[in-house]
Chain A
Amino acid sequence: MKRSFLLYFLITLIGIIFIARLFQLQIIRGANYDPIRNSAVKIKYDYPERGYVYDRNETLLVANQLSYDIMIQPNKVSPLDTLEFCDLLKIDKEYFLKSFRRAEKYATYKPSVFLKQLSKEDFAFLQEKLQKFKGFYIQKRIIREYPVKVAANVLGYIGEVNENMAKINNYYQQGELIGKDGIERQYEKILRGKKGKKFLSLNRFNTVTGSYLKGTYDTLSQNGKDLTLTLDIKLQAYAQKLMSGKRGGIVAIEPTTGEILALVTAPSYDPNMLVGRKRSKNSNFLMDPKNPDKPTYDRALMAQYAPGSPFKMMNALIGLQENVINSNTNFKCYEGYQYGRRKNEFMGCHCGIIGKPIYLKTAIARSCNSYFSNTFKRIVEKDNRPSEGLNSWSEHVKSFGLGNYLGYDLPAGASGRIPTGTFYDGRINYRWNASSIISNAIGQGDVETTPIQLANFTAAIANKGYFYTPHILKQIDKTPIEDPKFTIPKKTTIDKKHFSPIIEAMHEVFKTGTGKWSQVNGIEICGKTGTVENFANINGKKTQLKDHSILIAFAPKKNPKIALAIFVENGGYGSTIAAPISSLLIEKYISGSISKANKNREQRMLNLSLEKTYSQFN
């Protein structure tokens, strides 16, 4: 074989392969391959109007408004009088040059935004004047508007699709609008509708010659759908007002449906701040991680606090279900509970009943730590196997939706924490028992919940053993939602009969216990206050801060209409802040207004500010 054969052979082989490939591309696929992607076709989008958002009483919460952007197409710009132009737009020359360069860098033959979101007045004025500047024109755009200036955390906001997002998601082009938080994000697909597409043919000068293939591929736009939320915006606004000057979260739920009536985080902000030209400045301020108020952090959904005394009801319910206590069970309390042999292994108690037998109802009404420590011990050590005892305790707790994401329809959340036997097996390296983890008995220690989880827990008590997963969406285009996730009740592991004594005791709290100063005439409130110790790391030292003020409540006692949980950070006793605020909210929701007798209470809460407390440790 001649040595030249190899090269001849390779050349022939490659030549045949290449020509065969050309045949495949040009003849078999041919010109009609992927016509839409074919670049000599240009797609023009027709943007539908984004859906409106209403509250449960048909109050308009989110609407659309027109905004006007000045667009630029650099290759069409002819020499212009920069000074006059800048004066007209009220910009300086630096901005002009910067924007111009940016537009040129993007593409000289494609339009891009030069100046964003003019006011309507500016638009009317500029519309004519701008005509003499070639390459500039005004483009209408739809932006959001919030007539009621509250519930920013629920409503969320929309923003531009960035380059990355446009790469990942085929639907969006860079610069289009997309829901970025709250329901705008959660229900983006319903709100946005579907944009229409028109395929236009281009000639070789890149100008449009008409519709492509007589519009065979064109689609019409579909308007976004309107959403009706479960929120009662009046209650929401009132709650936000009451929380001014405080930090914390409130969640109110309708127990019979799981509908969220109010979802408050404080401090909050006016949703209109994230619209228009001030947007980037405002968002820098709001989302600044150094801003101690963290206004964009939804405390109602994301803040994980120890639940404190309200959690005692959980232990009572489990005790009853596991049959380790009943209505005749009593414990004695000597100003606290000695859980170990050493002197400091002692948990104090402020129930005030010393040495006398305490029964369940009194224990809840007076929030006796000893009673629930004993109960917790009996639950955990029922079969003398603490790890398994705690595991089954944990199962009961989790059936109330605690310790995991609840599954509500908002994009933010936290799981909270309910410890299990396995959790402590891994953490404690000696043989532990109930005494080792006794803080959990009174809702401290390792138990952590979010306000919405606690509100849901309250709703489950109000319902005597079941709950509907909390949700924010009520109707789509006036048609009630049918998602079984939200319309089928979830059962807890506690039998219905065990709830009655607990509810009686919670009623007692507002009649004679820690909530008695926050009663409302004519409404039977059942609730439980809590005061939660908390610590922070200040300058490297673990420092005890002022207690969190907590309360859960539902009302009326018969046929409950509202169940709520409220956390006020560093508010002190549950009875001093959380209780009056929740009684005001309950009165407002059930009666529609605050009676004269309670006006004083309202005024006190509105004026109360904790700014001074917060400034100490910020």
Chain B
Amino acid sequence: MRQEQNNIFAKIDWLLVFLFLFLVGFGWMNIYAASRTTEDSELLSFTTKHGKQFVFICCTIPLIVLILFFNSKFYEKFSSIFYLISIASLIGLFIFGKKINGATSWYNFGSIGLQPSEFVKAFTALAIAKLLSDRKYNLKLIKNQIKAFIIIFIPAILITLQPDAGSALIYLAFFLVLNREGLTLNYLLFGALLILVFILIIFFGYIPISLWLIGLISIGLFYAIYRGGKRFIRFNWHKVLMIYVLTILFTFGTNFTYNTIFKQHHRDRFEVLLGLKIDTKNIGYNSYQSELTISSGSWTGKGFLKGDITKGDFVPEQHTDYIFSTVGEEWGFIGSSFVILLFMLMLYRIIYLAEKHTNKFGRIYGYGVASILFFHLIINLGMVIGLMPTVGIPLPFFSYGGSSLWGFTILLFIFIRLDAHKNYDW
């Protein structure tokens, strides 16, 4: 046993560990800059945000040791159990959860709160890996696709009901995993098309857009008839009809969803982002302040602890979701681009390692890790630099908060553990 432990430490991917340590450490420095006030200069007081975060970081050490301690078979074997416990914890929220900021996403243990949705991501990734790694499993079959979708959407729906749509959005990342494992690219392309049409509808209204779409489809149809002749229509008329009906249903449905189901503050977020509404005081305040804070950093930034906008508490939630704006202000273009490059490096490394796995389970899980981190980066950084609508999810390893830090630690280190095993003899 002891020997195996030693071997494990020799085999783990130190590059990922260093990236992890660096991001967490640098993240803490920025939390310190953002939450420090002149009165409390104590570093480790549990009453301050940076003090708490320090304790959270310290807690990851036993957590990591624990994760590395288990055999990688253990994770494969118990993945279904983990998944079921995760789902139970999400359901339990509706009974025992505590409402914070309008969403029931937290369990409360005295002064400490736990947000299960931060952990469920990792266990869903394990479950998906388990399902897809089955030798007999073929993703080309609709039946199997539905199985995978169920595993993904159960936690996503439970989280949406909290309601925390932002965290639920992350589950779409699994489509990248499914695609890697043989799901046709059409799903992703179709999704991207829907998003594009959605944005166009907000911009131009649904009537012009549906007219354009019908026009484009008709041109395509004429081309197809020109090429295929009357036979094309004879054999495909029902498909053509379906396309028309679905297009109209989708544009009307989008319009209805946007105007009736969405709340005004949702609409405002989109409209501010798309520049349809100029607003620096209310809805747009966060994004505007965040952009302004980042802009003020210039090339090299104002220096550690010297960001006066950060100091003035002008960006709301700066220590959590908007932590990257501190990086922008105090470390400038060089610092913030560097952080983005480090994240990219981490993702490349994970995919690279995953692809080298001979074990399907480990590869799929690694893909899950990379996709989840990637989605977090797109949504969080996109929001902070004003390219995405306001969706409150944390920046991995950086943002303040025990649950999210531990969640990402578990996510990453299970992969490191699986990866360390791969050179072992099976």
Q: A interface vs B, CB < 8 Å?
A: 3-4, 6-8, 10-12, 14-15, 17-19, 21-23, 25-27, 29-31, 33-34, 37-40, 167, 202-206
Q: Bound state CA distance, A167 and B340, in angstroms? A: 37
Q: Is the CB of A17 within 8 A of B387?
A: yes
Q: Bound state CA distance, A17 and B297, in angstroms? A: 19
Q: Bound state CA distance, A3 and B341, in angstroms? A: 23
A4-B180, A15-B340, A18-B385 known; A26-B312 Cβ under 8 A: no
5 A-B pairs whose Cβ atoms sit less than 8 Å apart in the complex: A11-B347, A15-B340, A15-B344, A22-B385, A40-B314
Q: Which listed segment binds A: B119-127, B210-218, B329-337, B415-423? A: B329-337
Q: Which residues of A contact B378 (CB under 8 A)?
A: 14
Q: Which residues of A contact B328 (CB under 8 A)?
A: 22, 25-26
* Distance to closest chain A CB from B415 (angstroms): 15
Residue in A closest to B314 when the chains form the complex, CB atoms: A39
A25-B328, A25-B385 known; A7-B292 Cβ under 8 A: no
* Distance to closest chain B CB from A528 (angstroms): 56
Q: Which residues of B contact A33 (CB under 8 A)?
A: 292, 295-296
Q: Bound state CA distance, A8 and B374, in angstroms? A: 11
Can you add 9 more A-B contacts, CB < 8 Å, to A29-B295, A37-B280, A167-B281?
A: A7-B370, A11-B351, A12-B344, A14-B378, A22-B385, A23-B337, A25-B294, A25-B385, A30-B295
Q: Which residues of A contact B367 (CB under 8 A)?
A: 7
* Distance to closest chain A CB from B346 (angstroms): 10
Residue in B closest to A39 when the chains form the complex, CB atoms: B314
Determine which of B280, B312, B337 lies in contact with A204 in the assembled complex, contact meaning CB atoms within 8 Å. Answer: B312
Q: Is the CB of B355 within 8 A of A40?
A: no
Residue in B closest to A23 when the chains form the complex, CB atoms: B333
Q: Is the CB of A40 within 8 A of B309?
A: yes
B71 CB-CB contact with A under 8 Å: no
Q: Is the CB of A22 within 8 A of B311?
A: no
B264 CB-CB contact with A under 8 Å: no
B259 CB-CB contact with A under 8 Å: no
B299 CB-CB contact with A under 8 Å: yes
Q: Bound state CA distance, A14 and B387, in angstroms? A: 11
B140 CB-CB contact with A under 8 Å: no
Residue in A closest to B177 when the chains form the complex, CB atoms: A7
B291 CB-CB contact with A under 8 Å: yes
Query: Count of chain B residues with Cβ under 8 Å from any Cβ of A?
Result: 50
* Distance to closest chain B CB from A259 (angstroms): 42
Q: Is the CB of A31 within 8 A of B374?
A: no
Residue in A closest to B310 when the chains form the complex, CB atoms: A204
Q: Is the CB of B351 within 8 A of A39?
A: no
* Distance to closest chain B CB from A292 (angstroms): 40
Residue in A closest to B188 when the chains form the complex, CB atoms: A6
Contact bitstring B262-300, A, C-beta under 8 A = 1, else 0: 000000000000000000111000001101101111110
Q: Is the CB of B292 within 8 A of A26?
A: no
* Distance to closest chain A CB from B23 (angstroms): 15
Q: Bound state CA distance, A18 and B386, in angstroms? A: 10
Q: Which residues of B contact A27 (CB under 8 A)?
A: 298-299, 333
Q: Which residues of A contact B236 (CB under 8 A)?
A: none
Q: Which residues of B contact A3 (CB under 8 A)?
A: 179-180, 182
Q: B interface vs A, CB < 8 Å?
A: 38, 176, 179-180, 182, 185, 280-282, 288-289, 291-292, 294-299, 306-309, 311-312, 314, 328, 332-333, 336-337, 340-341, 343-344, 347-348, 351, 355, 367, 370-371, 374, 377-378, 381-382, 385-387
Q: Is the CB of B295 within 8 A of A21?
A: no
Q: Is the CB of B374 within 8 A of A10?
A: yes
Q: Bound state CA distance, A3 and B297, in angstroms? A: 39
Q: Bound state CA distance, A229 and B179, in angstroms? A: 78
* Distance to closest chain A CB from B45 (angstroms): 19
Q: Bound state CA distance, A25 and B348, in angstroms? A: 26
* Distance to closest chain B CB from A240 (angstroms): 44
Q: Bound state CA distance, A2 and B10, in angstroms? A: 30
Q: Which residues of B contact A21 (CB under 8 A)?
A: 385-387
* Distance to closest chain B CB from A513 (angstroms): 64
Determine which of B297, B314, B348 lies in contact with A11 in the assembled complex, contact meaning CB atoms within 8 Å. Answer: B348
Q: Which residues of A contact B344 (CB under 8 A)?
A: 11-12, 15
Q: Bound state CA distance, A23 and B347, in angstroms? A: 22
Q: Bound state CA distance, A190 and B355, in angstroms? A: 74
Q: Bound state CA distance, A40 and B377, in angstroms? A: 28
Q: Is the CB of A4 within 8 A of B298?
A: no
A18-B382, A40-B312 known; A31-B298 Cβ under 8 A: yes
Q: Which residues of B contact A34 (CB under 8 A)?
A: 292
Q: Is the CB of A7 within 8 A of B176?
A: yes
A7-B367, A15-B340, A18-B381 known; A39-B298 Cβ under 8 A: no
Residue in B closest to A26 when the chains form the complex, CB atoms: B333
Q: Is the CB of B298 within 8 A of A26?
A: yes
* Distance to closest chain B CB from A590 (angstroms): 56
Q: Is the CB of A7 within 8 A of B298?
A: no
Residue in A closest to B354 when the chains form the complex, CB atoms: A4
* Distance to closest chain B CB from A31 (angstroms): 5
Q: Which residues of A contact B377 (CB under 8 A)?
A: 14
Q: Is the CB of B337 within 8 A of A22?
A: yes
Q: Which 10 A-B pairs have the closest CB atoms?
A: A204-B311, A39-B314, A26-B333, A40-B308, A204-B308, A15-B344, A31-B296, A25-B295, A29-B295, A19-B337
Q: Bound state CA distance, A39 and B290, in angstroms? A: 11
Q: Which residues of B contact A18 (CB under 8 A)?
A: 340, 381-382, 385, 387
Q: Which residues of A contact B332 (CB under 8 A)?
A: 26
Q: Bound state CA distance, A54 and B306, in angstroms? A: 56
* Distance to closest chain A CB from B205 (angstroms): 25
Q: Which residues of B contact A8 (CB under 8 A)?
A: 348, 351
Determine which of A4, A11, A23, A167 lies in contact with B355 in the assembled complex, contact meaning CB atoms within 8 Å. Answer: A4
* Distance to closest chain B CB from A172 (angstroms): 12
Q: Is the CB of B292 within 8 A of A37?
A: yes
Q: Is the CB of A206 within 8 A of B311?
A: yes
Q: Bound state CA distance, A40 and B311, in angstroms? A: 9
